[in-house]
Amino acid sequence: MATEPTSSKAASLVGQEYEVEVGPVAHGGHCVARTEEGRVLFVRHTLPGERVVARVTEGREDSRYLRADAVTVVEASRDRVPAPCPFSGPGRCGGCDWQHAKPGAQRRLKAEVLTEQLAQLAGLTPEQAGWDGTVEPAPGDKVPAGEVPAWRTRVQYAVDEEGRAGLRRHRSHEVEPVDHCLIAAEGVTELGVERREWPGMATVDVAAATGSNDRLVVLTPRPERRLPLVELDRPVSVMRAEPTRGRGGEPTVHRVHGRAFVRERADDHTWRVSGGGFWQGHTKAAEVLVDAVMRGLIPRRGETALDLYCGAGLFAGALAQRMGEKGAVLGIEASGRAVRDARHNLSGYPRVRVEQGPVAKVLPATGITEADLVVLDPPRAGAGGDVVRRVAALGPRRVAYVACDPAALARDLRHFAAAGYVPRFLRAFDLFPVTHHMECVAILHPAKKES
Ligand SMILES: C[S@@+](CC[C@H](N)C(=O)[O-])C[C@H]1O[C@@H](n2cnc3c(N)ncnc32)[C@H](O)[C@@H]1O
């Protein structure tokens, strides 16, 4: 969401300050406010109901709206706490949007965002979506105000010119050096990446598996720079990524030492996830999502199912295990690396197949005309109308839509409604505590025909 056309000659308002009453939360980790002249501001580091001095960070005289940071809190919300992270705040690390909100308030803000997105983009009330209006914490994440759960098993550190590891500032390529990211899982923190220097590196990606001691770092050197000797505080596998992306847009990665993958445990199964490959980021996410999807779909023995955007095969494996030896599952996934992992992970199920390529291309090419169940877990942009229509045309008795973006979920629910599928129920999970992100699972079924 750009604030104005880049060609605009209008005067910049960056640095201008306005004292404002802060209105409701908006999707993206900010709240809406209006200046006395009626300008719309999207303000970070504030909460609904506060009175703050907001300093503009992006926007011009002719912009439809301005972005701003709350630099002084004149009247604080009762939901405000001092930010536990010393690297958060205006102009600092862009990772956590709600450091200054009590944990319960963070989940209420996310619920308000989901309510608003469902209404605006899908025309659904929470009741029509089958949602109880709450965002559920992951097991073990109910922390007291002022504390932060250490949930994140995948962290990409950016490295500055001086070789210091840090995280990116909000909407910027600049690096905020950090010596401890509070949301990083213990398995990440104990490696000590933040405590050493990374000369010549652009990024250091850490994966700390859940349920095994596997730890892997993928180093991306700056052009013409060589890898440093990697000495971390715990044993770790090391890979090197090419600075430019390879075929299919995936970074090419090479094993330097140790294993080229980590072993994750979820749903009583071990999953190989290669360096640079996707796995759910929260320590509990894979379990929470499999449980929600399986409770919603209630797979029966001998059924057929699709797992679209299947990654390393998490939902395909959970379905295959519950549908028995007569059940059949087809997974579709764009990343070649993830497809190799999924085929390896699912090799114990003879009636599971994984095809590589974009869902929009591969699904029609499979020639499949029906399926009992479909799981979709698309990237942030969502699946889109074409894929949704193709899914509905298969006539599944239930569909599970796993969404990491509430706006994409709402848009795709509208496409599903047009194709004859409506939500039976919806759950929202706080699988990204302290950030503005959330994960949703919608279970859809065919709409009853009007008689
Ligand atoms: C949110 S992840 C879900 C992975 C898996 N369901 C899991 O829970 O581990 C989305 C996956 O979609 C893949 N992907 C992105 N665009 C795709 C497309 N157009 N077609 C197929 N897969 C795609 C990504 O590579 C990624 O593995």
Looking at the domain that runs over 109-141+265-446, which CATH code has it been given? 3.40.50.150
Angle at 322 between CA 319 and CA 325, to 5 degrees: 95
Q: Which two tokens stand for residue 238?
A: 């090391």
Q: What is the pLDDT of residues 394-416, one digit of tens each?
A: 999 999 999 999 999 999 999 99
Q: Which one-letter DSSP state was computed for residue 172? A: S
Q: Which CA distances in Å does 211 have to 23, 73, 191?
A: 43, 43, 17
Q: From atom 13 of ligand 1, which residue's Cα is the shortest distance away? A: 309
333 close to ligand 1 (CB < 6 Angstrom): yes
Element (H, E) at 104: helix 103-117
Centroid of ligand 1 to alpha carbon of 307 (angstroms)? 10
| For the ranges 93-102, 226-235, 248-257, the one whose mean pLDDT is highest | 93-102
315 close to ligand 1 (CB < 6 Angstrom): yes
Q: Are 352 and 328 in contact (CB under 8 A)?
A: yes
End-to-end alpha-carbon separation of the chain, Å? 44
Q: What is the pLDDT of residues 244-263, one digit of tens each?
A: 776 667 889 999 999 999 99
310 close to ligand 1 (CB < 6 Angstrom): yes
Best CA proximity match to 149, nearest among 284, 262, 287:
284
Sheet strands side by side (includes 421-430): 135-137, 421-430, 439-446, 398-403, 373-376, 304-308, 328-333, 352-356
Centroid of ligand 1 to alpha carbon of 390 (angstroms)? 17
Q: Global pTM? A: 0.95
C-alpha 438: how far from chain center: 7
Question: Would you name the residues annotated as active-site residues?
Answer: 404
> Which pLDDT belongs to residue 231?
80
Q: Which one-letter DSSP state was computed for residue 233? A: S
Q: What is the pLDDT of residues 25-54, one digit of tens each?
A: 999 999 999 999 999 999 999 999 999 999
Domain with CATH 2.40.50.1070 in the chain: 154-261
> Which pLDDT belongs to residue 33?
98
Is the pLDDT at 270 greater than 80? The verdict is: yes
What is the share, in percent, of the chain residues with pLDDT greater than 70? 97
309 close to ligand 1 (CB < 6 Angstrom): yes
Looking at the domain that runs over 1-77, which CATH code has it been given? 2.40.50.140
Q: Which CA distances in Å does 96 have to 44, 296, 414?
A: 11, 31, 30
Domain with CATH 2.40.50.140 in the chain: 1-77
> Which pLDDT belongs to residue 355?
98
> Which pLDDT belongs to residue 251?
83
Best residue for ligand 1 mutational test, from 264, 278, 284, 429 (most atoms within 8 Å of Cβ): 278
Please classify residue 35 by burial: count the beta carbons closer than 10 Å to its beta carbon, then call 0-12 exposed, 13-18 middle and 19+ buried. Answer: middle
Is the pLDDT at 107 greater than 70? The verdict is: yes
Is the pLDDT at 215 greater than 80? The verdict is: yes
Is 205 labelled as part of a ligand binding site?
A: no
248 close to ligand 1 (CB < 6 Angstrom): no
ipTM, two decimals, is: 0.99
Measured CA to CA, the distance from residue 360 to residue 248 in angstroms comes to: 15
> Which pLDDT belongs to residue 281?
97
Is 162 labelled as part of a ligand binding site?
A: no
Is 18 labelled as part of a ligand binding site?
A: no
> Which pLDDT belongs to residue 367?
92
What is the share, in percent, of the chain residues with pLDDT greater than 90? 90
Count of beta carbons in the 10 Å neighbourhood of residue 52: 28
Centroid of ligand 1 to alpha carbon of 389 (angstroms)? 19
Please classify residue 323 by burial: count the beta carbons closer than 10 Å to its beta carbon, then call 0-12 exposed, 13-18 middle and 19+ buried. Answer: buried
Centroid of ligand 1 to alpha carbon of 337 (angstroms)? 11
Measured CA to CA, the distance from residue 288 to residue 70 in angstroms comes to: 35
Domain with CATH 3.40.50.150 in the chain: 109-141+265-446
Looking at the domain that runs over 154-261, which CATH code has it been given? 2.40.50.1070
> Which pLDDT belongs to residue 2?
52
Q: What is the pLDDT of residues 349-373, one digit of tens each?
A: 999 999 999 999 999 999 999 999 9
Is the pLDDT at 280 greater than 90? The verdict is: yes
User: Is residue 123 very low, low, confident or very high in pLDDT (cuts 50, 70, 90)?
Assistant: very high
Best residue for ligand 1 mutational test, from 333, 346, 356 (most atoms within 8 Å of Cβ): 333
> Which pLDDT belongs to residue 343?
98
Q: Are 409 and 401 in contact (CB under 8 A)?
A: yes
> Which pLDDT belongs to residue 228?
80
Sheet strands side by side (includes 237-245): 175-177, 165-168, 154-159, 201-208, 215-221, 237-245, 251-257
User: Is residue 6 very low, low, confident or very high in pLDDT (cuts 50, 70, 90)?
Assistant: low
Is the pLDDT at 1 greater than 60? The verdict is: no
Please classify residue 361 by burial: count the beta carbons closer than 10 Å to its beta carbon, then call 0-12 exposed, 13-18 middle and 19+ buried. Answer: exposed
> Which pLDDT belongs to residue 450?
57
In this structure, of 132-136, 230-234, 331-335, 339-343, the range with the lowest mean pLDDT score is 230-234
306 close to ligand 1 (CB < 6 Angstrom): no
Q: From atom 7 of ligand 1, which residue's Cα is the shortest distance away? A: 311
Element (H, E) at 238: strand 237-245
278 close to ligand 1 (CB < 6 Angstrom): yes
> Which pLDDT belongs to residue 13?
97
The packing angle between helices 103-117 and 406-418, to 10°, is 30
Q: Which one-letter DSSP state was computed for residue 197? A: B
Best residue for ligand 1 mutational test, from 264, 309, 404 (most atoms within 8 Å of Cβ): 309
DSSP letter for each residue of 359-379: HHHHHHHT-----SEEEE---
> Which pLDDT belongs to residue 45?
98
338 close to ligand 1 (CB < 6 Angstrom): yes
Is 309 labelled as part of a ligand binding site?
A: yes
